[in-house]
Amino acid sequence: MSACNDKKATSTPASADSTSSSTQAESSQTDPQPTESINAEIPEFSDPEIKKFAEDYTSFVKDLTAAYTAKDMTKAAELQQKAMEWANKSTEISKKLVSNPEDAKKFSEYTQKLTTELQSAMTAK
């Protein structure tokens, strides 16, 4: 897994009227809903603990992706603070994956897809 430290700047077109500007500001202050843009389907794992981790991590990445998509940098920063917790959990799960190369491969491919989609949301303009 990778830590995501990229930040995106928010801009409002100079021609936007005050009504649309206030709407944009209000929408960026609400909690983002998990986005459906995460297209990676959670694979089946032989260990229920690995499957649970994958489900929980997917939820985290969806929330973080939604924050970046909504350009809600406050929410993104809050979620980024949890990234170290996820790194620690990942280390524990990695120990379980050592004994199952098939699950390890599926897990690696899946988390790479999530990372790619998250990075895409972080760098979108």
Query: Per residue in 80-118, pLDDT tens?
Result: 999 889 999 999 999 999 999 999 999 999 999 999 999
53-75: string of b/e by CB count within 10 Å (b at 16+)? bbeebbebbbbbbbbbbbbbbeb
Is residue 124 very low, low, confident or very high in pLDDT (cuts 50, 70, 90)? confident
With 60 as the cut, is the pLDDT of residue 4 above it? no
Burial of 76 (0-12, 13-18, 19+ CB in 10 A): buried
Side-chain-side CA neighbours of 27 within 13 Å: the count stands at 13
* pLDDT of the residue at 40: 65
Q: Are 25 and 71 in contact (CB under 8 A)?
A: no
* pLDDT of the residue at 125: 74
pLDDT tens digits, one per residue of 8-33: 433 333 333 333 333 333 333 334 34
